[in-house]
Amino acid sequence: MLPRSHHRLRLVLVLVALAGVAVARVSGGKEEDAACDAANRPDEALLRPDRLTVLLSGYSERRLPLLRAIAGAYAAHPLVLAVVVLWCNPSTPDRLLLRGGFPPRVTLRRAASASLNSRFLPDPSIRTAAVAVVDDDVLPDAAALSFAFAAWQAARPGSLVGFFPRSHHLDLARGRWMYTAAQPGRYSMVLTKFMILGANLLYKYSCSPELVAARAVVDRERNCEDILMNFVAAEETGEGPVLVEAGSVRDWGDPRNDANAGAGEGGAMKDVGLSSRGGTGHWEKRGECITAFHRLLGRMPLRYSYGKVVEAAVGEQGLCSKGGRLVRCDQE
């Protein structure tokens, strides 16, 4: 008779087979060491310039049905070569995570911790020059995704492209940096709600010895990984990011969704994200991150961008559910 542990192992293997999804476990420090090993770094000349890899991060078990649907939508896009779902909640049991399965061309990786730095961990399986790092509650339509990818291809190498802009501002009275919404006509960051970047920036973010202390700030605050990536990209290009508007972008996590939205809509999703839970404290904390990164690096690489690349007039914050209809999130 097999030991009970062997039966559990067989059960997990059966579940994986039934789900039809590849599952890999990220082992924390060892995985980081392997990803940053020069021998495992992909040859950039061999990365496909015409396709896109989507890195979709998930943590909330309540969002699993939505995450599966969003992963499937990305996987069905003709420009997307592969979708990698990085599950960052180590306490989620396999039986719950794999229930219902994932669509074809979607790979599931489990992180050993909830570190937000895992979002930018290099993956040797990435075979495209461009990577879209996205949240589990935002989905651009097919036209918007295609337009954003085209904008990234046309931008300066190393640039970030996104739909959701933010800015930094120096508070002279308090001697510290502030994190703000995009100022009229000016911004300096794009969010990981949806961010397209070069695969090489994953290596720079995760493997640069100069960023060890900055990555520790991300771990301590459980926040600000997107701000740090904007630092990395601005250091690379000497310029700000590229803001695009095209098609439509559905944002389930925006707190301006109807409070009465049903399960699977804004009401079930908006209260599990960092920004919606933190209120003004969230903005203060992100300003503190900017100040900390500036102090640790000894310089301020963030640069302002002006204007945006536009195909259609759509609000940057995306679409929200209001009164049973999808409308711009700032529409009353």
Query: Cβ(241)–Cβ(188) under 8 Å?
Result: yes
Query: What are the structure tokens assigned to 142, written together?
Result: 């097919």
Amino acid, res. 202: L
Beta partners for residue 230, in sequence order: none
| 288 CB-near residues (< 8 Å, 6+ apart) | 176, 221
Distance CA 307, CA 204 (A): 27
**Which region, left, alpha or beta, applies to residue 9 given φ > 0 means left and ψ of -120 to 50 means alpha?**
alpha
Task: Please give the C-alpha separations between residue 149 and each of 143, 195, 206, 239, in angstroms, as whole numbers.
Answer: 10, 10, 23, 19
DSSP one-letter code for 144: H
Residue-wise DSSP of 138-174: EEE-HHHHHHHHHHHHHSPTT--EES-EEEEEEETTT
Which one is catalytic: 137, 226, 251, 254?
226
106-110 and 186-187 strand pairing: unpaired
Find the distance separating the first CA and the last CA of the chain, reported in whole Å: 65
Beta partners for residue 198, in sequence order: 130
Amino acid, res. 255: P
Stated length of the chain: 332
b/e per residue 88-114 (b: at least 16 CB within 10 A): beeebebeebbeeebbebbbbbbbbee
Is 330 among the residues known to form the active site? no
Q: Where are the alpha helices (DSSP H) in the chain?
A: 4-19, 29-36, 64-75, 94-98, 142-154, 199-207, 212-221, 225-237, 266-269, 274-297
Which residue, among 225, 159, 153, 208, has the nearest Cα to 41 in the 3D structure? 208
Q: Which residues are catalytic?
A: 226
